[in-house]
Amino acid sequence: MNHNILESVMDALSPDFVKEAHTFHRKRTIGKILTVAASFALFCAVSAPLLLTSLDVQAAYHFLYSVSPQIAQTLKPIQKSCVDNGIKMEVLSAKIKEHEAKILLSLQDLTENRIDETTDLFDSYSIHSPHDSSASCSKIGFEEKTKTTTFLVTIQSKGIIEGDKITFSLHKFLSNKQEFHAPLDILISPSSLPQTKSVTLRGMSNMDWTDCYRVLDLDKAEGYSPVNGVTLLGQGIVDETLRIQVHYSDILKTDNHGTVSLVSPTGEKIRCLGSLSFWDEEHSGSFEEYLFSIPNSWEGYSLYGDFYTCSSLTQGNWQITFPLNE
């Protein structure tokens, strides 16, 4: 924390505010260490909204939010729209009914054509509210003339009340998403078994579980690419399952993903039993290995692909804060 900012905040504290903060913590009895931490965060944030333009105070706000969301959201100044990187984010309405809040917000490109009917927030948004809650966000419309897309945010919490302030933040979004659904130019055949390698797959937190699996060891340079960003590497048999391996490139910027189905001689589409995913060497792309039961006969089997790719990632720092109304 910058010393000058902290000093100016300390000077700005009024005795009444200190008394109010002390009463708040005494009523909640949250423990000596947590009380000290919350009080320090209050000192850093009390001169809002002026100091909230500082990166140091923004860090203090996030710290305070982790200690006391109610106070953090109370101190957050209302800002119903913001513009960054030529993109405007704005709250259109924010209504609350019983324990559910519905919020309409929009994204508009003011300078280019980076917003379209496929725009996806790429799970890069965050929602801060004064109470524990669950939330979801879905796209509900796009207006080509104004290059504006609209999203509906739904928040559910028993604690939310009229007048509560909500903060919605966004750091990046995807556009120009494309879909590919077509037969793949590859026949399934009992070819010689490719080499295999062992990979270690971890849980999402890298802590929950750790298992080692055998997967196909194939050369990316020899693969077949039905669409940009997706490469079908080949097939083989591992641990008594037929494996089809696909490489999705640059997934952290494009969200390239999909699935592969087996097609029988009669045209029946057979979905995979499951799949294994693991990073490529650069940790920018993902290998996906689709598992199938081994056919009794290889004659006439082929593959079908369903892939989703993207060629436009827009990054920025958008944040709006607004109250809820009945």
Residue 93: pLDDT band by 50, 70, 90 thresholds? very high
Region 87-110: mean pLDDT is: 94
Residue, of 190 and 41, whose pLDDT is higher: 190
Supply the mean pLDDT for the chain. Answer: 80
Which has the minimum average pLDDT: 1-15, 54-68, 154-168, 293-307?
Answer: 1-15
Quickly list DSSP for 69-126.
HHHHHHHSPPB-EEEETTEEEEEEEEEEETTEEEEEEEEEESSSS---TT-B-TT-EE
- pLDDT score at 221: 83
- Res. 83: pLDDT tops 60: yes
Residue 19: pLDDT band by 50, 70, 90 thresholds? very low
Region 215-237: mean pLDDT is: 91
- pLDDT score at 99: 85
Q: Please report which helix (H) or strand (E) contains residue 38, including its range.
A: helix 32-45
- pLDDT score at 149: 97
- pLDDT score at 203: 53
- pLDDT score at 231: 96
Residue 40: pLDDT band by 50, 70, 90 thresholds? very low
Cα 314 from chain centroid (whole Å) = 14
Report the share of the chain in percent with pLDDT over 90: 50
Region 212-221: mean pLDDT is: 87
Tens digits of per-residue pLDDT, 160-215?
878 888 999 999 999 999 999 999 987 787 666 788 888 877 654 455 556 788 89
Residue 21: pLDDT band by 50, 70, 90 thresholds? very low
Strands (E), 112-195: 125-128, 134-143, 148-156, 165-187
- pLDDT score at 73: 62
CB atoms within 10 A of CB 128: 19
- pLDDT score at 255: 94
- pLDDT score at 245: 94
Residue 66: pLDDT band by 50, 70, 90 thresholds? low
- pLDDT score at 212: 83
Two structure tokens written together for 311: 């060629």
SS3 308: strand
- pLDDT score at 263: 93
Tens digits of per-residue pLDDT, 285-298?
999 999 999 888 88
- pLDDT score at 207: 53
Tens digits of per-residue pLDDT, 237-279?
888 899 999 999 999 999 999 999 999 999 999 999 999 999 9
Residue, of 312 and 18, whose pLDDT is higher: 312
Region 110-134: mean pLDDT is: 91
Q: What is the DSSP letter of 191?
A: P
What pairing do the DSSP bridges indicate for beta strands 302-323 and 274-279? unpaired
